[in-house]
């Protein structure tokens, strides 16, 4: 694809962008990889206009997290987004989205108490706030998000419903490296040895899924045992939950979301599989 990509930096520019509908938004923190590009390509197939936002949102990083060293390469992102079919990138400065005096926060209750919400206090308030702003600024008909961040995608679906955004959420499958590791901008933090060891995470998830059990204890214990075989990987949590509600698995549960967070050296990674989905 050889067409141009438009760079939009301000809210005013973004709002004035002459767009044909449907408009698809792919929100990202940048440092694009195949996971992001799969979302852009999907949006390209389904929408007349595709906007990719690249914004490392300080609100969703806690103290001591990797905000300062989060990988950034805007030029490369622009080029990759263009090749994947995006029409425009929206790349606001922090002060553009959070000018002096900014104080509003969006909270999606409940979500904050489990999984990444419990592990990273304040994270999902930051995510919900920036996504509510992006939905208002970009005004997309569809928003494309990844199964990789299942809880984040769930939160956006909830917020869209609760706040009546006229946007449809599309959740696309996790894109993986050949050894199964879920693609992530954070994978570059790992050295060679850590990177090889990290494959234990998706391996453990798939061994658990292959038990064909939907019992949380069985799934969680299988992941614990499998991850324990790789000394370089420290499991932070593993939880099996009802995929439809993110509540406990019960008699009415259809699909089970099995989620893990783990550390490989200093790098924190998350991943999940849905058990019971074809
Ligand atoms: P991020 O830049 O990490 O905030 O990710 C931006 C979007 O891309 C989110 O909706 C993620 O869920 C999605 N994403 C990240 N990694 C992957 C992956 N490996 N496969 C599919 N989607 C992904």
Q: CATH top-level class for 6-172?
A: alpha beta
- Spell out the domain ranges in the chain: 6-172, 185-276
Task: Encode pLDDT of 81-110 as tens digits.
Answer: 999 999 999 999 999 999 999 999 999 999
* 174 Cβ below 6 A of ligand 1: yes
Nearest CA residue ID for atom 11, ligand 1: 146
Quote the pLDDT of residue 19: 78
The token pair that represents 264 in the structure block: 């490989």
Quote the pLDDT of residue 2: 54
Nearest CA residue ID for atom 6, ligand 1: 28
Strands 256-264 and 267-275: antiparallel
Q: Give the position, in ligand 1's atom list, of the atom nearest the Cα of 146.
A: 12
Residues of the chain with pLDDT under 50: none
Quote the pLDDT of residue 181: 98
Q: Give the position, in ligand 1's atom list, of the atom nearest the Cα of 29.
A: 2
Nearest CA residue ID for atom 17, ligand 1: 35
* 202 Cβ below 6 A of ligand 1: no
41 backbone dihedrals φ, ψ, rounded to 5°: -65, -40
CATH number of 185-276: 3.30.1300.10
* 145 Cβ below 6 A of ligand 1: yes
Task: Encode pLDDT of 38-71 as tens digits.
Answer: 999 999 999 999 999 999 999 999 999 999 999 9
Quote the pLDDT of residue 277: 81
Q: Give the position, in ligand 1's atom list, of the atom nearest the Cα of 32.
A: 2
Residue 251 CA to ligand 1 center (angstroms) comes to 31
* 60 Cβ below 6 A of ligand 1: no
pTM of the predicted structure, to 2 decimals? 0.98
Examine the residue annotation and report whether 33 is marked as an active-site residue of this protein: no
Task: Give percent of the chain with pLDDT exceeding 90.
Answer: 97
* 185 Cβ below 6 A of ligand 1: yes
């Amino acid at each position: 694809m050889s067409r141009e990509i438009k760079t939009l930096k301000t809210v005013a520019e973004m709002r004035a962008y002459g767009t044909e509908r449907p408009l698809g938004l792919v929100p990202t923190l940048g440092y694009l990889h195949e996971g992001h590009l799969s979302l852009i390509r999907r949006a390209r197939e389904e929408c007349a206009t595709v906007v990719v936002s690249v914004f490392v949102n300080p609100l969703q990083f806690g103290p001591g997290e990797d905000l300062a060293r989060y990988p950034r390469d805007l030029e490369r992102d622009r080029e990759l987004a263009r090749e994947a079919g995006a029409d425009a990138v929206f790349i606001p400065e922090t002060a553009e989205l959070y000018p002096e005096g900014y104080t509003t926060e969006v909270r999606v209750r409940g979500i904050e108490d489990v999984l990444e919400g419990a592990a990273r206090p304040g994270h999902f308030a930051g995510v919900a706030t920036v996504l509510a702003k992006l939905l208002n600024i970009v005004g997309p008909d569809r928003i494309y998000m990844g199964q990789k961040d299942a809880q984040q995608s769930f939160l956006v679906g909830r917020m869209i419903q609760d706040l009546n955004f006229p946007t449809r959420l599309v959740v696309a499958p996790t894109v993986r490296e050949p050894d199964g590791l879920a693609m992530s901008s954070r994978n570059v933090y790992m050295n060679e040895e850590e990177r090889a060891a990290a494959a234990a995470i998706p391996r453990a998830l798939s061994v658990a899924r292959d038990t064909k059990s939907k019992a949380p204890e069985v799934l969680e214990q299988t992941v614990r045992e499998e991850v324990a075989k790789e000394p370089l990987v420290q499991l932070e949590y593993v939880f099996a939950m009802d995929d439809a509600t993110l509540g406990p698995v019960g008699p009415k549960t259809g699909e089970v979301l099995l989620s893990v967070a783990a550390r490989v050296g200093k790098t924190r990674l998350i991943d999940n599989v849905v058990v019971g989905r074809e």
